[in-house]
Structure 1
Amino acid sequence: MKFLKKGLKIVVFLVILIVVLIFVYSKVNEPKYSGELEIKNLSDDVTVYFDEIGVPHINAQNQKDAYLALGYIHAQDRLWQMELIRRIAPGRLSEIFGKDLVSTDVFFSGLGIEEAADKTIAGLDKSSDSYMLTQAYLDGINQYLEEGSTPLEFRLLGIEKEKYTIKDIYNVFGYMSFSFAVAHKTDPLLTEIKEKLGKPYLDEVLGAYSKNLLINKMDSVSKINSNFSKSVSAIMDQMPVPPLIGSNSWVIGADKTKNGKVIFANDPHIGYSQPSVWYQNHIKTPDFEMYGFNIALMPFPLLGHNKNYAYGLTMLANDDLNFYIEENNPKNDESYKIENGYQFYETRTKTINIKGGADTTFTVKVSKHGPIMNGIISHLEDERPVAMNWIYTQLKNEMLDVSYGISHSNSINDFKKSVAKIHAPGLNVMYGDADDNIAWFASAKLYQLRDSLFSKMYLNGASGKDEIIEYLDFSENPKSINPKSNYVYSANHQPDSVRGKLYPGYYQPENRSKRIVNLLEAKNDFTKQDVAKMLYDVTSSVDHNIARDLLKFVSKGELGASEKQAFSILENWEGVYLKTSIAPTIYNRFLFEFLQNTYKDELGSGFDLFINSQLQDQVLVNQIDRENSVWWDDISTKNKVETKEEIITKSYKSAIAFLQNQLGANVESWTWDRVISVEHEHAIGKAGGILRKIFNVGPFKTIGGNEVINNQIFKLDSTGIYKITSGPSSRRVVDFSDVENSLGIIPTGQSGNIFSDYYKNQAEKYVDGKFEKMKLNEAEIKKSEHVLILKPKE
């Protein structure tokens, strides 16, 4: 008995010791939010007030000190995120994660982002404000790297610390730009449809591009008041850093608001992750103020506002990436055919360091159009050399000046000059100000090809006839400034005509755009509360109509009792995606079965890519409208040609049978919250088990679905379980009648440090559609409980 008591005491002692050690370790390694720190290269004290949600309000006597402080503060909350994102473009993820990410590293390192960065950096004006403030920001990061605590992730993975440079920043620009691109998912698929299935199949798909569009009109006044695809998709899916997807934004003019001032709204859609994408911060100096949302390693915010103006962005989705088939010289495959002869490929040798394995070295061939993808995508079956021509690496990169300029503008004209420098990725840049200006700018380097050339399929690299003829001046880009409608909006839809034609791109269907317009047209006395409610809206403008159009072709005489009950629920649906809604569960399974029965027999393994693509979204309504279609026939059934009614009835019955097996016989229990959820995954938490519980945030039940304003993006697949992968990366409402009480929220929290109180403190509010105050009032800010003073170090 004494032995048992003694053993129990030892166990209790060990448990207490472990708890104490964990507590001490957490305190040592949590970010420092109060007290004093000495920092080199400061010219004066900098006071940082951390508000209730962990947003740093940086008060400095000059901007250089402010940006140095921002770098230090940003690093103590997000150093792990910075480390991950800087490793993508140069292909350095395998160094820390091992062989599973070699294909990702080979792909990104072969795109030419690093080479483009070197070229850009060599030409930078080292005396410019943008450059000097960037160096101050990097200085702050590197001082934290040297003197601050080491993130737990660094210790778990054995990461050696390396100083950050401006090249890391340009590598982040490059990754961000590529994650916006859509052509790499669509162009190879369309080419394959044409070459393997034939022109009738392609023509039906392409016929959808000019239909079901809501066009962003250039209604403005002149006065200004002050396989390949599948491989790339798989690479993007396994990225430990989220891709940028889409977005909503609208700006309501003064004449359409209750208080007579502009209201600005924006929610960029980005892959969910932990840490969240954006880092909120507020900088104030005697000559500058900005409340911004920064991506890791970007000194200047891509979203921001102050008392004078607000800005944000959505993805333009213009076509800025083309593929060219090159023709090798039959006598020397180190050269390729051009219009007037042959030209040698440039070669680049790359080495990937692999944790726990031998390094791998490979060579990338580069034509005048870009890198040959055959060498950097392992499953590219096409024997022809396929070159990727990407505007981001082809043209002058001024993105550092752009991000500095939009955050340091003094007028709408000043702002416009900055967004005119954007070459890629294409962005819808949204603007509103205290002088009652509102604006939308389609910002990208648009170009012209010869007439009748279709850029969404592989182009001929040898003929010289498929080259870009001309780059357009920004003055020709679609835009809208102070329109008669008293609002501007963007939801990744088709912009207005350029030179008399709709500019090609990979635009989303009208779903979100139509809903936004319907809500904006409904009243003329908007408040910020109305706009906040809009950002959380979950009513689809089209899904219920698609459902009814499908149900018209279901043979009701073949239906059993449960099938008739589900039919009635779906038929009476108004497109709302609430937790308790039943119709979305039925609709999304019905949709999957319909798409599978229509396209999978022809597309084979390409179906999984097609079903969750922008292409499928565009094609859907058009396909349902077709009475006769080459796609209706199931080619796997011999001596039979299926009709539209047969395909749709089969799809409906299969959907109901699946749901009965998945969720039970009671149709009334098939609520949306049983099949959909969101979890913000950390790169280490993806391993599962205890690491998932420690690092991930969630899972949560939520409302919303694909292509509603509260866009909760998931993949349709055979499982019938919808794990949300992307959505609003922030929600913001800036009301210039009460700008000091503007609203914002991010999905999890400010900090990426698991020992911080701000690691996930916004998560539940975000899921519930609530907001936090984006503070600008100086007196209120100075009441903050946590104050950190950064002092010059001798």
Structure 2
Amino acid sequence: MGLIFRWLLRLAAGLVALVVAAMALVYYLAGQSLPDYTQTLEVSGVGAPVEIMRDNNNVPHVFGSSDPDVFFGLGYAHAQDRLWQMTTLRRTVQGRLSEVFGQRTVSIDRLLRRLDLYRLAQQSVSAQDAYTTAALEAYAAGVNARLEEINAKALGRGAPEMFLFNAPVAPWHPADSIAIIKLMGLQLSGHLEEEILRARTSLMLDDQARLVDILPDAPGTGVAALPEYAAMFPGVPRYAEARSDPRDPLSPLPRHGLAGASNAWAAAPSRSASGGTLLANDPHLGFAAPSTWYLARLELARGGVIGGTIPGVPLVLVGRGERLGWGLTSSYMDDQDLFIEKLNPDNPEEYLTPSGYKAFETRPSIIEIKDAAPITLTLRWTENGPVLPGSVYDLETITPPGHVVSLGWTMLDPRDTSFSAAMALMNAGTVAEALRATETYVAPSQNLTLADRETIALKMLGAVPRRDAAHQSQGRLPSQGWRAENRWQGRMPNASNPEFVSPVGGLLGNTNNKLLERPFPNHISFVWGDTQRVSRWQRLMQSREVHTRDSFIEAQLDPVSPTARNLLPLIGADLWFTGEAAPAGTPERQRQIALGLLAEWNGEMNEHLPEPLIYAAWVRALQKRLIMDELGPLAEEFKHVEPLFIERVYKDIDGASAWCDIRQSAPVETCTEIARLALDDALVWIGERYGTALESLRWGDAHQATHDHPVLGEVPLLRHFVNIRQSTSGGDNTLQRGRTSGEDPDPFQNVHGAGFRGVYDFADPDSSVFVISTGQSGHFLSRHYDDLAQLWRRGEYIPMSLDTELARAAAVGLTQLVPKQ
């Protein structure tokens, strides 16, 4: 017996030693790809030495004798820290993910091939000006210099992920950078899904007057009545079950309610305590590890610029120079239309146009798939745009037999000069120069907020489609592609884009809210990204006569929900302080406790409070009860609470209280009854998930920011090393926006928000600050993988200085790239 025990002990010890050795080997191999920030390297492609000095937050400050050399240095720095992210973005836009990830990403590749964004990027390279072309080429050379170094020195393939997903890395090209901007445009696009959802909802509703309730317009002058979708396409069933594939973390298609968002605001010297202009910007994108953003400083011939870059792109997209700051927010301009194309019944390779049937423009495209046979697609284009697969947002559910759907989109421009416009913006020194520089910007549409030392301005960038006033659906529903009045008729002039310079009140800003009211077809958009945050912003801005950098930071981090303050008095109007005494532990007692807590709450979505969780669960359950009987299974598509819908219902605007009655039941339910039932639903769900002690709940336990690695984040054990999870304040409708997932079993996870925050004070530019949501490095073994994440969570910032000596004094590394002899 003792002998057996000794052998079992030896065997266990051997297994432990083997595991430890394996882990040590993995750690060693992964650690080989950690970059050396202090070295001198001979490279091809620079005209003179380039210096990359990294401050103590690992922000690279790039110096060179010419602008192309500086962009070379940025390309090298990006590839040092974010090579896996860059190559994955490139594979995504090329439609080549399946070469690495196999069958799981075939649907993504199908879509990207059909959109043809990469080929359009290749065609757009020749449309750029000489300065931008030189920058793109130099940046690509810098990335390739890092690839050559990795190969020559066997530096662990450049990133740990390369060991698990081994695939050759092609040299970087100028088109790759333009293509990544186009991919971002897809991530920011929301009108495509909005049209499909509006069509599906229209089909389900018996009373079309109720469509404006559940998919409301932003407050302002109303629009004319639209045709029923069923009337335009009578062959479509009321409801068709969606058969789309499960959503992959690598998919660039935004889920409903998770397209682009952002905040930006500026103050003129008359409203600034320091006497200089102020600018704050926090762009909102989906969270990931590493962050979408990468901080960098470039010392260009026209002066230094510092701010947020996107790995793979030689631009400071948001940030400041010595004399000018610029911020971006999604404009929600309607730059997409869906067209239902009628096939020729005698020849399905033809589609109907205003002048008769015409052959599709076609070409084959082969998708290589890891561990599977390749598939060949036939890409088809109409005069309106590319033909989309039926799986995209469940397009097949609204497509009549004998038809296909094509997409019109301003991003599909083969001569897109947006990159040159953005490059000119980065080199501008005044608001006037910036506005002139961006006249040739095409897509994706953005609101540009500007501040130089004296002037503030806001301008909507991007090409606006020119629509016919007789358009069948005003671009709000998929329309008949063969009718001339539904087709785009070119672009509106840039001068017609909304523009605000030096407002009288000295303050301007945008929270993706409605900018102005214009009648169709000059309307800009019917769908806007915010109807709630803007009210809180107005209150905070006007509550002070003058502002400071700190008051702008306070506004960025404000967690108060104006939505909660508006909705709770409506839905609880007949529930507050009513009901008989109830014993502890009963549903009635829980309801009374919950109502008591909410009655004393000020709407602050603080991570440490229980009230935000009770409120969020209540309104989510309430919307579900209101729409389930009318929309049936389609109700699952409405994953986020629409505040205007609940407000319309509980104010009974145009008969909207009809939603409260359950159609299948004999009694006529009141809105008060539905509110009470929904609160009980919410408390049951909370009790099962977080316990019944309501006073001890924490919103932050449910509202965790999910900075997850899009590939390794699902791997058991490894996910604990690569995912960054944080308890956070804020919510769907707060200025400190933390958009929730809406997906069971964790509907309140924080999945979309400010991955970058920056605040600039031009009275003292070097007092400006910024931060990103993770760290600079994409290597999970690096101390810079998550070192900024806790600062971000706590609402702290790091300095944004162009003082070279200050950066040098706290440098953690100095890389010198010298011309190869």
Tell whether the structures are fold-level matches, with TM greater than 0.5.
yes
1:588 to 613, 616, 619: 616
Aligned residue in 1 for 2:227: none
d(CA) in 2 for partners of 1:497, 1:652: 37
Residue matched to 1:473: 493
For 1:403 and 1:655, the matched residues in 2 are separated by 47
Match of 1:144 in 2: 146
Deviation at 1:685, TM superposition (A): 2.4
Matching residue within 683, 687, 693 for 2:714: 687
Pick the aligned partner of 1:310 from 312, 315, 325: 325
1:269 paired with 2:284, answer yes
Matching residue of 1:565: 593
The one-letter amino acid paired with 1:653 is D
Are the counterparts in 2 of residues 253 and 487 from structure 1 also a CA contact under 8 Å? yes
**Amino acid of the residue matched to residue 278 of structure 1?**
W
1:170 equivalent to 2:178? Answer yes
Aligned equivalents of 1:312, 1:561: Cα separation in 2: 49
Give the superposition deviation at 1:472.
1.6
Moved more, 495-504 or 776-785: 495-504
Once the two structures are TM-superposed, the CA of residue 17 in structure 1 deviates from its matched residue by 6.0
| CA deviation after TM superposition for structure 1 residue 754, in Å | 2.2
Deviation string 1:229-286 (CA, Å, 9 cap, x unpaired) is 9778965765289886200011111111111001110000010001111111111145
Distance 1:263 1:710, change over 3 A: same
CA contact (8 A) 1:265 1:734 kept: yes
* 2:461 matched residue in structure 1: 443
Matched, 1:510 2:531: yes
Q: Distance in 2 between matches of 1:700 and 1:325?
A: 44
Aligned partner of 1:494 in structure 2 is 514
Q: Which of the numbers 399, 412, 431 marks the counterpart of 1:393? A: 412
Q: Does 1:200 align with 2:200?
A: no
1:739 aligned partner:
765
SS in 2 for 1:194: helix
- Asked if the contact 2:249–2:710 (Cα under 8 Å) also holds between the matched residues in 1, the reply is no
1:115 equivalenced with 2:119 (yes/no):
yes
| Per-residue Cα deviation, 1:285-328 (whole angstroms, up to 9, x for no partner) | 45432113211211112112122111110000111111111122
Give 1:221's aligned residue. none
The residue number in structure 1 matching 2:789 is 763
The corresponding residue for 1:239 is 251
Q: Distance in 1 between matches of 2:806 and 2:813?
A: 13
Tell me the SS of whatever aligns to 2:662: coil
CA 1:526–1:280 in 2, change beyond 3 Å: closer, same or farther?
same
Within the candidate set 636, 640, 654, 1:612 is matched to 640
Alignment of 1:463 with 2:483, yes or no, is: yes
**1:414 equivalent among 419, 423, 433:** 433
Q: Per-residue displacement from partner, 1:672-701 (whole Å, max 9, x unpaired)? A: 12322123111232223222022222x221
CA contact (8 A) 2:421 2:440 kept: yes
Distance 1:122 1:433, change over 3 A: closer
The structure-2 alpha-carbon separation of the partners of 1:228 and 1:530, relative to structure 1 and needing over 3 Å to count, comes to farther
Partners of 1:207 and 1:237 in 2: how far apart? 27
Distance 1:670 1:404 in 2: 49
What is the letter of the counterpart of residue 340 of structure 1?
Answer: S
Give the structure 2 partner of residue 222 of structure 1. none
How many Å apart are 1:115 and its aligned residue? 3.5
1:341 is matched with which residue?
A: 356
Whole-angstrom distance in 2 between the partners of 1:474 and 1:584: 43
Please state how far the C-alpha of 1:180 moved relative to its aligned partner.
1.1
Match of 2:235 in 1: none
Name the residue aligned to 1:483. Answer: 503
Contact 1:750 1:759 in 2 (8 A): yes
- Does the CA-based 8 Å contact 2:123-2:414 persist in structure 1? no
Q: Given the alignment of the two structures, is residue 300 of structure 1 paired with residue 315 of structure 2, yes or no?
A: yes
Q: Distance between the aligned counterparts of 2:414 and 2:630, measured in 1?
A: 39
Give the share of equivalent positions with the same residue, in percent.
Answer: 23
Find the residue that maps to 1:472 and give its secondary structure. Answer: coil
Alignment of 1:657 with 2:684, yes or no, is: yes
- Of stretches 48-57 and 291-300 in structure 1, the one that deviates more from structure 2 is 291-300
Supply the distance in 2 between the matched residues of 1:315 and 1:143 (Cα, whole angstroms).
35
The answer (yes or no) to whether the contact 1:508–1:617 under 8 Å persists in 2 is: no
Mapped to 2, the partners of 1:544 and 1:595 lie a distance apart of: 17
Cα deviation code 1:429-463 (max 9, x no counterpart) = 111112x1111111121234233642111112112
Residue by residue over 1:498-547, the C-alpha shift from the partner in whole angstroms, topping out at 9 and shown as x without a partner, is: 46864324212332111111111111332212222221110112222211
Q: Which amino acid in structure 1 is aligned with residue 43 of structure 2? A: I
1:704 to 725, 730, 733: 730
In 2 relative to 1, CA 395–213 (structure 1 residues): closer, same or farther, beyond 3 Å?
Answer: farther
Question: Unaligned stretches of 5+ in structure 1?
Answer: 215-226
Deviation at 1:422, TM superposition (A): 2.1
Is the alpha carbon distance of 1:201 and 1:693 closer, same or farther for their aligned partners in structure 2, counting shifts above 3 Å? same
Residue 611 of structure 1 and its aligned partner are, at CA, apart by 2.9
- Structure 2: gaps of 5 or more residues: 223-238, 581-586
Distance between the aligned counterparts of 2:124 and 2:274, measured in 1? 46
Which is worse superposed, 20-29 or 356-365? Answer: 20-29
Question: What SS does structure 2 have at the residue aligned with 1:49?
Answer: strand
For residue 394 of structure 1, report the CA deviation from its aligned partner: 4.5
Structure-2 separation of matches of 1:36 and 1:545:
60
**Is 1:281 paired with 2:296?**
yes
2:568 to 547, 553, 557: 547
Please report how far the alpha carbon of residue 610 of structure 1 lies from its aligned counterpart in structure 2 after TM superposition: 2.1
- Give the distance between the partners of 1:202 and 1:458, measured in 2 at CA: 19
Q: Decide whether the 8 Å contact of 2:429 with 2:452 is kept in 1.
A: no
| Contact residue 419 and residue 429 of structure 1 kept, 8 A | no
Q: Give the Å deviation of 1:595.
A: 0.9
Partner AA of 1:77 in structure 2: D
| Cα gap change, 1:644 to 1:410, in 2 (>3 Å) | same
Secondary structure at 1:370 match in 2: coil
Equivalent residue number for residue 624 of structure 1: 650
CA pair 46-689 structure 1, distance change in 2 beyond 3 A: same
Tell whether 2:815 aligns with 1:788.
yes
SS at match of 1:155: helix
Change over 3 Å in CA distance of 1:182–1:13 after alignment to 2: closer
Task: Tell me, yes or no, if structure 1 residue 153 matches structure 2 residue 171.
Answer: no
Q: 2:700 aligns with which of 651, 659, 673?
A: 673
Query: Partner residue of 2:42?
Result: 38
Question: Match for residue 774 of structure 1?
Answer: 800
| Corresponding residue SS for 1:465 | helix
In 2 relative to 1, CA 574–234 (structure 1 residues): closer, same or farther, beyond 3 Å? farther
SS state at 2:659 partner: coil
Residue 33 of structure 1 aligns to a residue whose secondary structure is coil
> Is 1:633 matched up with 2:661?
yes
Matched, 1:353 2:376: no
Contact 1:38 1:791 in 2 (8 A): yes
Change (3 A) 1:675 1:512: same
Deviation per CA, 1:179-213: give whole Å up to 9, x if none: 11111221111112223324535543378314279
SS at match of 2:718: helix
CA contact (8 A) 1:276 1:748 kept: yes
Q: Distance in 2 between matches of 1:10 and 1:115?
A: 55
Of 193, 196, 214 in structure 2, the residue corresponding to residue 185 of structure 1 is 193
SS in structure 1 opposite 2:565? helix
Superposition TM-score, scaled by structure 2 size: 0.89
Cα distance in 2 for partners of 1:387, 1:12 equals 58
Task: Please state how far the C-alpha of 1:20 moved relative to its aligned partner.
Answer: 6.3
RMSD after superposition: 2.9
Q: What is the match of residue 534 of structure 1? A: 555
Q: Does 1:105 align with 2:109?
A: yes
User: Aligned equivalents of 1:376 and 1:49: distance in 2?
Assistant: 47
Cα distance, 1:360 vs structure 2? 1.5
Q: What secondary structure, in the 3-state scheme, does the structure 2 residue paired with 1:108 have?
A: helix
